[in-house]
Amino acid sequence: MKITRADVEHVAKLARLELTDEEAATFTGQMDAILAYVDKLNELDTSAIVPTAHAVPMENAFRDDVATDSIGIDNALANAPSRVEGFFRVPKVIE
Amino acid sequence: MELYELTIHELHDRLKRKEVSSVEATRALLARIEATDPKVNAFITVTADEALTAAQEADKRIAAGEMDVLTGIPVALKDIFLTRGVRTTCGSKILAGFVPPYDATSWERLRERGAVLVGKLNQDEFAMGSSCESSAFGSTKNPWDLACIPGGSSGGSAAAIAARQATATLGTDTGGSIRQPASHCGCVGLKPTYGRVSRYGVIAYASSLDQVGPVTRDVRDAAIMLGAVAGHDPKDSTSVDRPVPDYTRSLVPDVKGLKVGLPREYHIPGLDPDVKQAMDAAIATYRQLGAEFVDISLPHTDYAVATYYLIATAEASSNLARYDGVRFGHRSAEAGGLVDMYNKSRAEGFGAEVKRRIMLGTYALSSGYYDAYYLKAQKVRTLIMHDFLKAFETVDVILTPVAPTPPFRIGEKVNDPLQMYLSDIFTIPVNLAGTCAVSVPTGLSQSGLPIGLQLIGRPFGEESIIKAAYAFEQATEWHKKKADI
């Protein structure tokens, strides 16, 4: 086994994803099969290989530090599930 | 020919000659959508009123002589492109009510040229899938056989072309999501080089692999659409500042002396006999046209799917962290506190495939596993890129199938994600290498389902694959075959 039910529950917590018992059981089996499959990468010696993060090599893309128009508060809040005045409303953070 | 069946260039010619108006063409497509979409389910949202207003504007431009090749052309977009004022769901329940405040750059570029948006197209949820079955808005059906998948994730983009519901569409391709559905629906689908088209306003799945491209009825339309959306965008730091050629100049049916690579690793055991036969016939056609074939090796092909499912899921787990129920998207009504709100909003809003990939990606990035999985995959990605760069020292283009089988049946692979992932074996390496490729119709299976060939080009070698695709298309009749719907 590459992965156990406890691993799946730990990862779900990191991903902020509440899983049902059924989902946790299904994902344990499926992730185990997928991780067993990706293990084939270990057949390759990559000790001298540089990792690739992006296919097209590029430096930082800077622009001039000039303020431009933004979408504005009303647009930014238009899709908010809950808002109050000019703010997003969220449940109490500190108990 | 009905108005809804025309290509961009055919409709443009008629608009230019004032034989037809954009309003008439748009009405014809809207009527066609109404008649066929209850069966196909290619659209999540149809924008009939907005389309007719835009078509009237386009007709005014045409009357005033301010006409571009896309002016008045009815198009549709995968529901991953942000469209200001038009609901954009990305195929997910978590964005079911999301109305973007701005446009994706690629849509803005089409809109400014006078293209008319008829609607937003179905897709796998967050572009994660190869069959369009993971959409929260129901599966799209393949217009060639309604019991089959249209491919994915841009299944709606291809099905809408095959069902003649839009003149051209845009999709996105992270591991084959333009080319595979184009192949399964008998259309042309082009995935440009990474950085060629802006990703601004395209809902992110795997940012180092995602790329925007057209799905069209023929190669000329693909060249027109690519030319319209390509080019540097200051709003996407990964878009490349490099001149955009006139791709329609590459529409020359001449492949004499073209060196075409045939990778030996693509002869896999699971290759369907009908696909093999279609590929052999395509090779014979190219030979007759004067192309030269060279056997090549892409030795790390067998590692591409494993590499992809680590890199793509890791990037996805990071990108999808933004769906937290705070600023937009679904918020659970059940939530007790802040963390509970995150957990429940995401649990209620995401479907099974998205959850599975977030879990896999989170695991691959988590403490203790980062080096073994994510970093390892990035190193193998380097090897896969080098395979292609080496091959392109001796060949101009590489010819392969798009998918190992014709479209499979709806439901056939939903319970076996690994089998579903392996169906992307021929398309995934191109995204990892960041280069360009096009899918072109190349035959029908014994049961009458479309098969596509893939031409892979050098980075920023779109002109050479367009030229090779056009030569094949002009020498064959496959692109003229129509789904009986």
What residues 303-342 of chain B have any CB closer than 8 A to a CB of chain A? 303, 305-307, 309-310, 317, 321, 324-331, 335-342
Which residue of B95, B359, B360 is the best one to mutate when testing the A interface, meaning the one whose CB has the most A CBs within 10 A? B359
Beta-strand relationship, B211-216 and B168-173: antiparallel
Q: Out of B103-112, B265-274, B319-328, which region has the weakest mean confidence (pLDDT)?
A: B265-274
pLDDT at B418: 81
Cα–Cα distance list, B483 to B142, B343, B478 (Å): 9, 44, 12
Which ranges of B41-104 would DSSP assign to H, the alpha helix? Answer: 48-63
Query: Across the interface, do A40 and B306 touch by the CB < 8 Å criterion?
Result: yes
Question: Residue ranges of the domains in chain A?
Answer: 5-43
Instruction: Give, for A88, the enclosing helix (H) or strand (E).
Output: strand A87-88
Q: Is the Cβ–Cβ distance between B253 and B474 less than 8 Å?
A: yes
Per-residue pLDDT of B104-160, as tens digits, reads 999 999 999 999 999 999 999 999 999 999 999 999 999 999 999 999 999 999 999
Smallest CA–CA distance from B389 into chain A, residue: A55
pLDDT at B285: 98
pLDDT grade, residue B270 (50/70/90)? confident
**What are the φ and ψ backbone dihedral angles of B142, each rounded to 5 degrees?**
-75, 120
pLDDT grade, residue B423 (50/70/90)? confident
- Grouping H, G, I as helix, E, B as strand and the rest as coil, residue B332 is coil
pLDDT grade, residue B416 (50/70/90)? confident
Question: Tell me, what's the ipTM?
Answer: 0.96
Architecture of the A5-43 domain: Orthogonal Bundle (1.10)
pLDDT grade, residue B336 (50/70/90)? confident
Cα–Cα distance list, B12 to B30, B74, B187, B251, B286 (Å): 18, 11, 19, 17, 30
Per-residue pLDDT of B56-94, as tens digits, reads 999 999 999 999 999 999 999 999 999 999 999 999 999
For chains A and B, what is the number of CB pairs under 8 angstroms?
169
pTM exceeds 0.95 = yes
All domains of chain B in start order, with CATH: 3-246 (3.90.1300.10), 302-378 (no CATH)
Per-residue pLDDT of B15-68, as tens digits, reads 999 999 999 999 999 999 999 999 999 999 999 999 999 999 999 999 999 999
Q: Is residue A95 pLDDT above 70, yes or no?
A: no
Would you give the DSSP letter of residue B208?
T
Question: Inter-axis angle of helices B105-112 and B219-229, to 10 degrees?
Answer: 110
pLDDT at B367: 87
How many CB atoms sit inside 10 A of residue B241's CB?
A: 11
